[in-house]
């Protein structure tokens, strides 16, 4: 397989290796692909949850929704993930 990177992408990869953050260009690309795979898995799971919720006939009050959103916000902030 052969891939072509844009100049900024190539610079980023080479700079990451030069700075010692990664041992090789291959390591940088492999990590990027693993992150993309993880992102795709999470996105698929989220889409499945949304689809399931759309098919769920239960209604949720505004208060329940606010509480759920606040809980999730606090969970993400505790993990250091700003929203």
Angle CA(6)–CA(12)–CA(17) in degrees, nearest 5?
A: 130
Quote the domain boundaries for residue 59. 7-78
Classify residue 83: in a domain, yes or no.
no
Distance between CA 62 and CA 77 in Å, rounded? 22
Classify residue 70: in a domain, yes or no.
yes
Classify residue 2: in a domain, yes or no.
no
Classify residue 25: in a domain, yes or no.
yes
Classify residue 42: in a domain, yes or no.
yes
What is the tally of structural domains in the chain?
1
The structure tokens listed for 27 are 């390591």
pLDDT digit string, tens, across residues 22-70: 999 999 999 999 999 999 999 999 999 999 988 888 888 899 999 999 9
Classify residue 1: in a domain, yes or no.
no
Classify residue 61: in a domain, yes or no.
yes
pLDDT of residue 83: 62
pTM (predicted TM-score): 0.63
């Amino acid at each position: 397989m052969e891939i072509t990177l844009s100049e900024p992408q190539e610079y980023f990869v080479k700079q990451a290796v030069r700075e010692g953050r990664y041992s090789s260009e291959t390591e940088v690309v492999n990590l990027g692909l693993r992150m993309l795979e993880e992102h795709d898995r999470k996105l698929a799971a989220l889409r499945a949850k949304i689809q399931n919720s759309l098919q769920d006939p239960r209604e949720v009050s505004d208060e329940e929704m606010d509480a759920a959103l606040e809980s999730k916000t606090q969970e993400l902030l505790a993990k250091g993930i700003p929203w």
